[in-house]
């Protein structure tokens, strides 16, 4: 599958943004995070900024973005429509929560309720994003039991690493949060490696024989219907990454998982501002690593239409 940068950035940014929003909503409502003006402004600004930038980026992927409002109508059948509805609906409690925290200086009462509702909306939105990919049968690497948990784990992981960087920056870091985001990053690492192992051993029943209805023997493509690459090959027959996938997987593992884990462990032993600096570096490295991971998620996915072209 062609890794359009708008979609790669969209899923990475909103994943981190919704993870951060959910954690801020729950932790602030529970009183673990003080209702400080600057912390609220930066934290909610970062979460909602990442979400908004991602959603705007995804609109850039559309052929007719001016009609995007129509995408809220088919939530009964379409996970993409459900994602649109969930993402916009989440802005309501998230906005109220941000106003209560930043401008009214309180995170209890109705603001806490709004925070919890925003967290529920954030989790629901990430689920709908994961299901868009998990529901596509022609792409075996996506239509697997790894996809939806992967989106949730990576959202929680990148959100928690961002939250840790944020709180460390305000000298509010805690060893519990450091331990939490280190564990989540390790979990994300394990999940990604397990997903790659599963995909590498994937044996799908669909092949050139079932694609053409020609039973038995071998079916070899001898002539394409067209001389140049068409939409199908440009969109679904992307092949560049296959050449470099081993190297790109290493880059992903280093940037998204190994380096953040090392930096976070080092931050345990240090005080502000060094712990804050390492936490910020961990968040930046992980975001860059997750962009590579998401790029590979697309580039390594093989669509059944490529069988018709002998690829």
Establish whether the linkage from the previous residue to 35 is cis, with ω within 30° of 0.
no
CB 80 within 8 A of CB 204: no
Can you tell me which of 222, 243, 246, 269 binds another protein, judged by CB under 8 A? 222
Residue 152 CA to residue 228 CA, distance in Å, equals 39
Rg of the chain taking only CA atoms, in angstroms: 21
> Does 214 contact another protein by CB under 8 A?
yes
- Residues in 126-165 that interact with another protein by CB under 8 A: 132, 135-139
| Residue in the block written with tokens 């992307």 | 238
- Residues in 78-117 that interact with another protein by CB under 8 A: 78-81, 84
Does residue 63 sit in helix, strand or coil? coil
Half-sphere exposure of 283 (CA within 13 A, CB side): 25
68: which DSSP letter? G
Toward another protein, which CB reaches closer, 186 or 304? 304
Residue 55 CA to residue 11 CA, distance in Å, equals 9
Stretch that binds another protein, among 30-38, 42-50, 210-218, 254-262 (CB under 8 A): 210-218
Toward another protein, which CB reaches closer, 25 or 84? 84
Toward another protein, which CB reaches closer, 186 or 209? 209
Q: Shortest Cβ distance from residue 82 to another protein (Å)? A: 8
Toward another protein, which CB reaches closer, 143 or 170? 143
Footprint of another protein (CB under 8 A):
1, 61-65, 67-68, 70-74, 76-81, 84, 132, 135-139, 205-206, 208, 210-232, 235-236, 303-305, 308-309
């Amino acid at each position: 599958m062609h890794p359009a940068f708008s979609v790669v950035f969209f899923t990475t940014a909103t994943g981190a943004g919704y993870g951060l929003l959910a954690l801020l909503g729950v932790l602030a409502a529970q009183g673990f995070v003080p209702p400080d003006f600057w912390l609220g402004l930066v934290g909610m600004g970062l979460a909602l900024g990442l979400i908004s930038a991602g959603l705007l980026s995804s609109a850039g992927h559309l052929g007719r973005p001016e009609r995007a409002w129509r995408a809220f109508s088919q939530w009964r059948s379409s996970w993409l429509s459900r994602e649109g509805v969930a993402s916009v609906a989440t802005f309501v409690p998230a906005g109220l929560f941000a106003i209560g925290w930043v401008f009214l200086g309180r995170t209890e009462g109705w603001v806490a309720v709004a925070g919890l509702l925003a967290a529920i909306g954030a989790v629901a939105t990430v689920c709908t994003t994961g299901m868009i990919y998990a529901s596509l049968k022609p792409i075996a690497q996506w239509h697997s039991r790894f996809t939806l948990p992967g989106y949730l784990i990576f959202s929680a992981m990148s959100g928690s690493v961002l939250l840790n960087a944020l709180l460390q920056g305000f000298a509010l870091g805690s060893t519990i949060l450091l331990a939490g985001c280190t564990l989540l990053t390790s979990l994300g690492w394990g999940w990604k490696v397990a997903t790659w192992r599963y995909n590498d051993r994937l044996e799908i029943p669909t092949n050139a024989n079932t694609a053409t209805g020609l039973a038995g023997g071998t079916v070899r493509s001898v002539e394409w219907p067209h001389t140049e690459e068409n939409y199908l090959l440009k969109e679904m027959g992307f092949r560049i990454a296959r050449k470099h996938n081993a190297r790109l997987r290493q880059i992903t593992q280093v940037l998204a998982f190994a380096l953040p884990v090392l930096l976070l462990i080092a931050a345990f032993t240090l005080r502000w501002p060094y712990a804050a600096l390492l936490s910020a570096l961990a968040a930046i490295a992980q975001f860059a690593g997750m962009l590579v991971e998401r790029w590979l998620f697309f580039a390594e996915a093989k669509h059944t239409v490529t069988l018709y072209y002998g690829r």
